[in-house]
Amino acid sequence: MVGLSAASEGSQMSKSEESSQRPDTPHYENATGGWGSLKGVSRILVDQKPSPGVFHTLMRQNKPGGHMCTSCAWTKPAQPHLFEFCENGAKATIWDLTRDRCTPDFFARHSLAELRGLSDHELEKTGRLTHPMRYDPSSDRYIETTWEEAFAGIGAKLRELDPKSAVFYLSGKGSLETAYLYALFARLYGHNNLPDSSNMCHETTSVALKKVIGIGVGTCVLSDFDHCDLILFFGQNTGTNSPRFLHTLQTAKERGCKMITFNPIRERGLVEFANPQNPAQMTVKPATRISDIYLQVRPGGDIAVLAGLCKRVLELDAERGGQILDRAFIEEHTTGLDELMARLREVSWEEIEKESGLRREELNEVAEIYATSKNVIGIYGMGLTQHVKGWLNLAMFVNLLLLRGNIGRKGAGISPVRGHSNVQGQRTVGVSEKPENVPLDKLAELFGFEPPQEEGRSTVDLVEGLLDGSVRGLISMGGNLARAIPDRARAEEAWRNLDLNVQVATKLNRSHLLPGQATWLLPCLVRAEEDMQAAGPQVVTMEDSLSMIHGSLGKREPASPHLKSEVTIIAGIAKAALPPNPKVKWDEWTGDYGLIRDLIEATYPDKFKNFNGRLFTPGGFHRGNSARDREWKTESGKAQFTAPESLTALGESPEGEEVTLITLRSNDQFNTTIYGYSDRLRGLSGARDIVLINPEEMARRGLSEGQLVTLECAVEDGAERVVRGLRVVPYDLPDSCVAAYYPEANPLIPVSYHDELSKTPAYKGVPVRIHADGAVR
């Protein structure tokens, strides 16, 4: 049952916060962090019964010489806290180290048809996968196999396929060593079909920031947060998705830095935070207020917000004798300001108010603060990237920062908060469908072959290829594509037509239950586990959100003696699929990952100088950032202002009966891994098949609390997209929008509905209609 959370710990919410939250809708009364986060961890400990020593393992998490958390990509500080892990990081590690096992015996007892009846939560709760398995169509079961058989079988199938019809997906947890070898394998085999989870996430960042500032990643480092006096925060839910970042925000706030947030939902972590590691804050001291101003922008309304802010900053500059813009910076480093100014003159405040859902006075107040702040950092997440004009959201954000020279100096910059723990790094070392982002000539020289030159498939292209039958083979290194992709219900049948489906995973998920002609399910180590190879225990590396590279050393005994590392699985398949090449030394490389790092250094000498010598640098080592140094690797050689062609990021604004759907993560999930059914920080618990709507919108549509409804996608392209049986929950959201959980709502997202430039699916802005259950078609 969905209900208000019955949290009983003393509420530390200030009066002003109480009055700005709709009192009649579910919400969390306590500060983020605090006792609630400790309870969240205890619950998962009871549920997963991890093997002994888990506390000792957690104490090594995110510390130099320890292992890096597999949850989010937030940076790991040089001086870690005593506990450098958060509620969700602890959940992720405990989930990996469960004592439950999903064994050959389990598979002997259950057909895949039966297993398809289990929920995402139940599937992963069966425990860690223990043996390599092959699908047997005659019994509809996975049966135990050997690694030798699996490698030989997969290699033989790959040799039969046209390389261009195969796709090698990588979910963002794989290490730099895994990513480098995987990308090399793909290119030796003959394609650039290398999507990773970034294609569903921050690909908008990779493309749009590259276009306007010449580099596809953020420009800030951790010390910038010690010098900023304003943080502008768009569409990122820190309390749930990168909780350790709250410590950074708290420190900045306590130093006097201001923070202004734009988000359709009042996310608790962005309202206030009590540090669970601070005994005083856990008992008597008030929680830290995080956002000074919190504006509930309409979904897709950020372009209008940023246009309004830029417009007002330009007006202020005119009113105050040219004192507001950083003219020297603009002159030397940028291009396109005149076009932007001309466009903004045409844009009316009425349009800005309509698209953003915010009042002119509210935006004027923010513009005044921005115009008088010295150093400003811009933060964003999926709320900006997952839209049809996501790229323009980012270009507009950059416009605002460029006006006052807030990129490329201490205490300022643009800082996307990345998702998976190494998703950014995978792109850095060559996992990309875009060959222009990869030094193919270097690869040719190092390994004596001709790398394929044509653009490969993104995740959206993969889904389209599944639907039209042009994708014949898939290797999925981690992840759960069958749930994470748009149009997942339409794609579900298509998985069965694949000639080859190879899934490398730690726990059972839906993607493993949709076998093709030949299907293998291969179990791998997790990061906290020891990876023993010929040269001894191996270190792997990852790059965090702030472009810092860290070594990670697992010490736990593996969940099963039959597990292999991702690196050795890639090498095993590659050896079986490819003709021998004296320059390609799979066995040597897998014996000592230091040799793979030497190859990474040889391929990317500027970013990875002395890679092996810097593995455990406290806080990681920075791989360099041209925009931070005010070197603009754009087409014009300058930072680019962009004149907005549209004031909404939505593909279609909702009309008549339609509303905009945003899809959300709860505090009790990591993407498609559902730990449980509590969304504590939103005051929701017990169910995920819900739809959130504001009380006035409910009244206008004659909907009542608890009523079952069907959502139907309003994009007209001949395909039916519906999700039935969602329970209506009144919630504090702007008008004309609804929210539902990801991945449950993914059948509603058309695969064609993606960011125009980067093809990131528009998971935060799809027009839908609401029908009383049974009323649709």
Ligand X SMILES: Nc1nc2c(c(=O)[nH]1)N[C@H]1C(S)=C(S)[C@@H](COP(=O)(O)OP(=O)(O)OC[C@H]3O[C@@H](n4cnc5c(=O)[nH]c(N)nc54)[C@H](O)[C@@H]3O)O[C@H]1N2
524 touches, from Mo ion, ligand X, none (C-beta below 5 to 8 Å by class): ligand X
625 touches, from ligand X, Mo ion, none (C-beta below 5 to 8 Å by class): none
Whose CA is closest to 163, among 442, 485, 437, 499? 499
| Site for ligand X contains 245 (CB under 6 A) | no
Shortest CB 173 distance to Mo ion, Å: 11
Instruction: Find all residues with CB under 8 Å of 700, minimum gap 6, and list them.
Output: none
What are the Cα distances from residue 215, in Å, to 437, 625, 651? 11, 7, 26
663 touches, from Mo ion, ligand X, none (C-beta below 5 to 8 Å by class): ligand X
Comparing CB distances to ligand X, the nearer of 219 and 506 is 506
Please give the size of the binding site for ligand X, defined by CB under 6 A: 63
Q: Which of 179, 764, 767, 770 binds ligand X (CB under 6 A)?
A: 764
Comparing CB distances to ligand X, the nearer of 337 and 596 is 596
Whose CA is closest to 620, among 79, 35, 42? 79
383 touches, from Mo ion, ligand X, none (C-beta below 5 to 8 Å by class): ligand X
Q: Which of 57, 71, 165, 710 binds ligand X (CB under 6 A)?
A: 71
71 touches, from ligand X, Mo ion, none (C-beta below 5 to 8 Å by class): ligand X
Q: Which of 12, 21, 88, 206 binds ligand X (CB under 6 A)?
A: 88
Comparing CB distances to ligand X, the nearer of 300 and 408 is 300
| Site for ligand X contains 344 (CB under 6 A) | no
Q: Which helix (H) or strand (E) holds 414?
A: strand 413-416
Cβ proximity of 171 and 670 under 8 Å = no
C-beta nearest to Mo ion: residue: 419
- CA 96 to chain CA centroid, nearest Å: 19
Give the DSSP per-residue string, 250-293.
HHHHHTT-EEEEE-SS--GGGTEEE-TT-HHHHHTSPPEE--SE
Q: Which of 330, 504, 548, 639 binds ligand X (CB under 6 A)?
A: 504
Shortest CB 186 distance to Mo ion, Å: 21
Interface pattern 267-286 for ligand X (x via CB under 6 A): x-------------------
Instruction: Find all residues with CB under 8 Å of 52, minimum gap 6, and list them.
Output: none
Q: Which of 102, 133, 207, 297 binds ligand X (CB under 6 A)?
A: 297
593 touches, from ligand X, Mo ion, none (C-beta below 5 to 8 Å by class): none
Comparing CB distances to ligand X, the nearer of 611 and 670 is 670
3-state SS of 112-125 is: HHHHCCCCHHHHHH
Choose the stretch contacting ligand X; rule: CB under 6 A; options: 24-32, 76-84, 195-203, 325-333: 195-203
Shortest CB 383 distance to Mo ion, Å: 13
Give the footprint of Mo ion on this chain (CB under 5 A).
Answer: 201, 419
665 touches, from ligand X, Mo ion, none (C-beta below 5 to 8 Å by class): ligand X
507 touches, from ligand X, Mo ion, none (C-beta below 5 to 8 Å by class): ligand X
Rounded-to-integer distance, Cα 737 and Cα 653, Å? 11
Shortest CB 558 distance to ligand X, Å: 12
Shortest CB 244 distance to Mo ion, Å: 17
Q: What is the DSSP letter of 497?
A: G
Q: Is the peptide bond before 264 cis (omega within 30 degrees of 0)?
A: no
3-state SS of 663-724 is: EECCCCEECCEECCCEEHHHCEECCCCEEEECHHHHHHCCCCCCCEEEEEECCCCCCCCEEE
Interface pattern 721-760 for ligand X (x via CB under 6 A): ---------------------xx-xx--x-----------
Q: Which of 566, 679, 697, 732 binds ligand X (CB under 6 A)?
A: 566
CB atoms within 10 A of CB 436: 8
Beta strand extents in 270-375 (DSSP E only): 272-274, 288-289, 293-295, 334-335
Rounded-to-integer distance, Cα 518 and Cα 157, Å? 8
Cβ neighbourhood burial of 45 (10 Å; 0-12, 13-18, 19+): middle
| Structure tokens, 78 | 């040089």
Comparing CB distances to ligand X, the nearer of 353 and 601 is 353
Residues 615-654 that bind ligand X (CB under 6 A): none
Shortest CB 274 distance to ligand X, Å: 18
Instruction: Find all residues with CB under 8 Å of 639, minimum gap 6, and list them.
Output: 212, 213, 214, 333, 334, 335, 398, 402, 407, 627, 632
684 touches, from Mo ion, ligand X, none (C-beta below 5 to 8 Å by class): none
- First CA to last CA distance, the chain: 28
299 touches, from ligand X, Mo ion, none (C-beta below 5 to 8 Å by class): ligand X
Q: Which helix (H) or strand (E) holds 88?
A: helix 87-96
381 touches, from Mo ion, ligand X, none (C-beta below 5 to 8 Å by class): ligand X
| Site for ligand X contains 480 (CB under 6 A) | yes
Comparing CB distances to ligand X, the nearer of 200 and 684 is 200
| Site for ligand X contains 72 (CB under 6 A) | yes
Helix, strand, coil share (%) of the chain residues, nearest 5: 35, 20, 45
Whose CA is closest to 710, among 763, 747, 743, 678? 747
Q: Which of 257, 463, 481, 584 binds ligand X (CB under 6 A)?
A: 481
| Site for ligand X contains 43 (CB under 6 A) | no
What are the Cα distances from residue 189, in Å, to 160, 272, 333? 12, 51, 42
Q: Which of 33, 153, 216, 264 binds ligand X (CB under 6 A)?
A: 264
Comparing CB distances to ligand X, the nearer of 377 and 504 is 504
Sign, CA torsion 642/646/647/652: negative
| Site for ligand X contains 262 (CB under 6 A) | yes
Give me the phi and psi of 661, to 5 degrees please: -95, 130
Own/partner long-range contacts of 78-82 (Cβ < 8 Å, ≥24 apart): 78/618, 78/619, 79/618, 79/619, 81/247, 81/277, 82/277
Rounded-to-integer distance, Cα 462 and Cα 193, Å? 8
Shortest CB 369 distance to ligand X, Å: 18
Comparing CB distances to Mo ion, the nearer of 382 and 563 is 382
Rounded-to-integer distance, Cα 443 and Cα 180, Å? 11
Residues 109-128 that bind ligand X (CB under 6 A): 124
Q: Which of 479, 551, 619, 651 binds ligand X (CB under 6 A)?
A: 479
| Structure tokens, 187 | 């290119």
Shortest CB 129 distance to ligand X, Å: 8
Whose CA is closest to 202, among 377, 379, 382, 71? 382
Comparing CB distances to Mo ion, the nearer of 71 and 603 is 71
| Site for ligand X contains 663 (CB under 6 A) | yes
Shortest CB 716 distance to Mo ion, Å: 29
| Site for ligand X contains 763 (CB under 6 A) | yes
Give me the phi and psi of 729, to 5 degrees please: -125, 120
| Structure tokens, 637 | 């050689």
Shortest CB 419 distance to Mo ion, Å: 3
Comparing CB distances to Mo ion, the nearer of 199 and 710 is 199
| Site for ligand X contains 519 (CB under 6 A) | no
Choose the stretch contacting ligand X; rule: CB under 6 A; options: 154-162, 345-353, 414-422, 694-702: 414-422
Q: Which helix (H) or strand (E) holds 313?
A: helix 302-319
Instruction: Give the binding site for ligand X (CB under 6 A).
Output: 71-72, 88, 124, 171-173, 197, 200-201, 234-237, 240-242, 262-265, 267, 297, 299-300, 302, 381-383, 386, 417, 419-420, 477-481, 484, 504-507, 509, 524, 526, 566, 662-665, 669-673, 742-743, 745-746, 749, 763-764
